[in-house]
Amino acid sequence: MQPNPGAEDEIARFTRFIDEFHALLLEENRRMRESAAPPDEALLEKKKALLPELDRRLARLKVLADEAAGGSPVSPDRRRAVKEARNRLLQILMLDRENERLLLKNSLPPKIRQAYAKVAPGQVARAYGQPPPGTQPPSPPA
């Protein structure tokens, strides 16, 4: 017998909600990658509207996860569902972090952005007058 028979439905609703939130962050990421511009206001407002709901659902998931981790009898399906929800949350956090980096990168002035551009392989070695790794040094003149 489970202590909370409606928990599986609640976890399923939470999973659908975070899938929707993940899709929103993916859309934000795609737009910033394609246009190199910050996301538009409509997308930000939608994200801002979902955040209080996310907080509320996270608090409820914590209660359900504590039940699943505690000594109460909980089905393996419920434990697996809680674990999958947590994994999806980690994906959301990583994606949000990437979106923040894109936003910062795209908001830099062009001169500074160019100064922090990716370095080509061997460029550092050439700057110090050494041959790039994996190449033969020039032979001394005979």
How many domains are contained in the chain?
1
Classify residue 35: in a domain, yes or no: yes
**Domain with 51 in it:** 7-127
Contacts by 79-88, CB closer than 8 A, 24 or more apart = 81/8, 81/11, 81/12, 81/15, 82/11, 84/15, 85/11, 85/14, 85/15, 85/18, 85/61, 88/15, 88/18, 88/19, 88/22
Percent of the chain with pLDDT over 90: 37
* 82 within domain boundaries: yes
Residue 47 is assigned to a structural domain of this protein: yes
Tell me if 133 is assigned to some domain.
Answer: no
pLDDT for the residue numbered 69: 66
Burial class (CB in 10 A: 0-12, 13-18, 19+), 81: buried
Residue 16 lies in a domain: yes
> Is position 60 within any domain?
yes
User: Does residue 136 fall inside a structural domain?
Assistant: no
Q: For residue 123, what are its two tokens?
A: 């460029």
Q: Quick check: 131 and 62 in contact, CB under 8 A? A: no
Total-model pTM:
0.69
Longest dimension (CA), the chain: 88
Residue 139 lies in a domain: no
pLDDT tens digits, residue range 9-28? 888 899 999 999 999 999 99
Highest mean pLDDT among 6-10, 28-32, 82-86: 28-32
